[in-house]
Structure 1
Amino acid sequence: MTDRRTYSYLGPAGTFTEAALDQVPEARGHHWKPVHNVGEALGDVLSGVSHAAMIAIENSVEGGVSTTLDALATQPGLRIVGEYLVNVNFVLVAAPGTTLDDVSVIAAHPVAYAQCHSWLGAHLPKHSHVPAASNVASAIGILDGSLPAQAAIAAPGIVQHHELEVLAEDIGDNANAQTRFVLVTRTTTPVPPTGADKTSLIVELPEDHAGALLELLEQFSTRGINLSLLQSRPIGDELGRYRFVLDADGHVYDERMADALLGIRRFSPRVVFLGSYPRADRKIVQYPERYADDVFVEARDWLRGLIGGEPEA
């Protein structure tokens, strides 16, 4: 293969991020580079080390991933080109020969640990917890002795890469938990619309006054655009200053979405366009007929006619 690309992902092998990257057909057969954190993954993309990076952006239990959202807000030159969903399921693993009765200390990433409280309370009520840097690090830590624990919470795929014994399966509190991942490249033209698309933005409000957020939301509601995500993040320069992360149903090439972005740009001091890309669920975006593209085009033509002095029909 002459054009071998590199894709960065939160490693090592066996993570949920690797499972998300495995859903990208164009990434198969290329080099997958494990990294330690989101900043390193995005740095690879910006520096040209990697063609793209797979990063987690939202969890159905914990909400938006703050480190990812803040990185996307502050590092220019990035573009989301696709999203992928991974079912979040956990197993309790240990070194071969270990039984559940041997377990008194569990190694786990704090987020994974928080999603397994019910099972742990029912089956290991007297256990203690040792934090780990990642789900894979928790499993490796009990194998190499770097973590003082007898068992670890990890993703099911860990057993494909390490010699571990599964003590329990499906230990997560929410059987329907999912994590949303996005594939990020350097800034490029938006991928073509499919009819089942999503547009991601980060918007700062001009000032803190009554109705400021409402003015932002009205740019979408008055054009028939549904928001599937709205989350605030502190800007960090002083208390009370926030930026808003939004996922809007539709594509920037849609007339209604383009019109909404123009409306936002008129009053926001900073708008970060993260990208328009196919929805992971491929669900066709529905909207009232009065917000169809040809309605916006006809309205613009009508206005041009008024300005140009054309006789009205």
Structure 2
Amino acid sequence: MRRILYLGPEGTFTEQAARTLVSRVYPDSTFGADPTALSGQARSDVDLILEPAVTVRAAMVEVSAGRAEAVVAPVENSVEGSVPATLDALVAADPIVAVAETVLPVRFSVLAAPGMTAEQVRTVATHPHAAAQVREWLARELPDAVVVSTTSTAAAAVEVLAGRADAAVTAPLAAERYALDVLAADVADVRDAVTSFRLLRLPGRMPEPTGVDRTSLVVTVDDRIGTLADLLTELATRGVNLTRIESRPTRSRLGSYRFFLDLDGHLAERRVADAVAALRRRSQEVRFLGSFPRALPSGCAVAAVISPPESVSDAAFADAAAWVQSLQERSRA
């Protein structure tokens, strides 16, 4: 039986994303909860189990060690940006790669201990990313409450159950998992906020190109003038669209950074492969984090595709390579 881990406890947005991604990546498998809570389902009937992990880093260690099949982790929120814990864990762990992603709309539920009213709430527990997305609502509806940070939105529900907080801002799924009252539902300061999640596992066979793909990398560069411009030039001259760039400290010394890059395209495309090779030549290190189909936000039926110039198509690369080879062969004749 293979384990799929996600940021827990039960009832997080990440669990919801995990169920979506597992159904897509493992369509012929059956999956359930932890075997100790399968609700009578025969353990032999389940190929995959979904298990919560305390942190994304801990889950990645399990995958790297071969004790788990994959981990589902949040990567980026449209309001608060990237999730630093996930980015740092991707670098700290042995190499693992993304094979799929999904995008979920983010609306929250506010849960409280049974019988507690909004007027009685003095402490609200939640994850910092969630707190930032309901800040205006909290100021308006629970102005006397102090926000307490937790490792996840579901962990906030556990804090309320334990009596250490009066209320919790959680994913809607938590309302089904914990014996708490719903003070409010469908809460969000930004109504169209979304979060992207990726399913990551050990390097192996990549998903086939779809024409609407994403390639993710981590690049560590030398500290010199123009180094970032050089990297961007390598992408631009090959018609590779950069959709995200974010710097994170290497933790080796002050002012030393690595860059997380998301590119349009698949490593199987010649222009993308050539660009990645060029980045490798110009950098201290390049870590490949996967090529996989891009996820579409809810309600978006067609992905926006920025078409590269014909001069960097696979056919153009093949024709140029054949021409150079003919010159080389002629010179040796």
* Correspondence for 1:308: 329
For residues 23-62 of structure 1, the aligned pairs below 5 Å read 23-24=20-21, 25=23, 26=26, 28-29=30-31, 30-62=48-80
Counterpart residue type for residue 8 of structure 1: L
* Correspondence for 1:184: 200
Deviation at 1:132, TM superposition (A): 2.4
* Correspondence for 2:124: 106
Deviation at 1:28, TM superposition (A): 4.6
Deviation at 1:221, TM superposition (A): 0.7
For residues 50-89 of structure 1, the aligned pairs below 5 Å read 50-89=68-107
Counterpart residue type for residue 306 of structure 1: L
Counterpart residue type for residue 266 of structure 2: H
Partner deviation per Cα, 1:223-242 (whole Å, 9 max, x = no partner): 11111110011111112211
Structure 2 residue 7 is matched with structure 1 residue 10: yes
Structure 2 residue 171 is matched with structure 1 residue 150: no
Deviation at 1:23, TM superposition (A): 0.7
Deviation at 1:91, TM superposition (A): 1.4
For residues 259-298 of structure 1, the aligned pairs below 5 Å read 259-281=274-296, 283=303, 285=305, 286-298=307-319
Counterpart residue type for residue 283 of structure 1: A
Structure 2 residue 190 is matched with structure 1 residue 174: yes
* Correspondence for 1:196: 212
Q: Among 165, 177, 200, which residue is 1:161 paired with?
A: 177
The question of whether the paired residues in 2 share the 8 Å contact of 1:197 and 1:284 is answered with no
Deviation at 1:129, TM superposition (A): 2.1
Structure 2 residue 259 is matched with structure 1 residue 241: no
When residues 198 and 219 of structure 1 are mapped into structure 2, their CA distance, relative to the original with a 3 A threshold, is same
User: Aligned pair count?
Assistant: 304
When residues 232 and 171 of structure 1 are mapped into structure 2, their CA distance, relative to the original with a 3 A threshold, is same
Deviation at 1:284, TM superposition (A): 6.7
Mapped to 2, the partners of 1:280 and 1:34 lie a distance apart of 23
When residues 77 and 104 of structure 1 are mapped into structure 2, their CA distance, relative to the original with a 3 A threshold, is closer
**TM-score when normalising by structure 1:** 0.92
Deviation at 1:9, TM superposition (A): 0.8
Mapped to 1, the partners of 2:87 and 2:145 lie a distance apart of 34
Identical positions, percent = 41
The question of whether the paired residues in 2 share the 8 Å contact of 1:12 and 1:136 is answered with yes
Partner deviation per Cα, 1:7-43 (whole Å, 9 max, x = no partner): 0111121101101111121265221111100111101
Deviation at 1:156, TM superposition (A): 0.8
The question of whether the paired residues in 2 share the 8 Å contact of 1:195 and 1:284 is answered with no
Secondary structure, aligned partner of 1:156 = coil
Counterpart residue type for residue 70 of structure 1: D
Runs of 5+ unmatched residues, structure 2:
32-47, 297-301
Secondary structure, aligned partner of 1:274 = strand
Counterpart residue type for residue 150 of structure 1: D
Counterpart residue type for residue 303 of structure 2: K
Deviation at 1:67, TM superposition (A): 1.7
Structure 2 residue 246 is matched with structure 1 residue 217: no
Mapped to 2, the partners of 1:284 and 1:45 lie a distance apart of 33
The question of whether the paired residues in 2 share the 8 Å contact of 1:6 and 1:52 is answered with yes
Mapped to 2, the partners of 1:189 and 1:242 lie a distance apart of 30
Partner deviation per Cα, 1:235-285 (whole Å, 9 max, x = no partner): 111122111000000000001001101211111120101111111127374
Mapped to 2, the partners of 1:178 and 1:187 lie a distance apart of 28
Deviation at 1:75, TM superposition (A): 2.2
How much is the aligned-residue C-alpha RMSD, in angstroms?
A: 1.6
Secondary structure, aligned partner of 1:137 = helix
Deviation at 1:96, TM superposition (A): 2.6
Secondary structure, aligned partner of 1:48 = coil
Mapped to 1, the partners of 2:92 and 2:155 lie a distance apart of 28
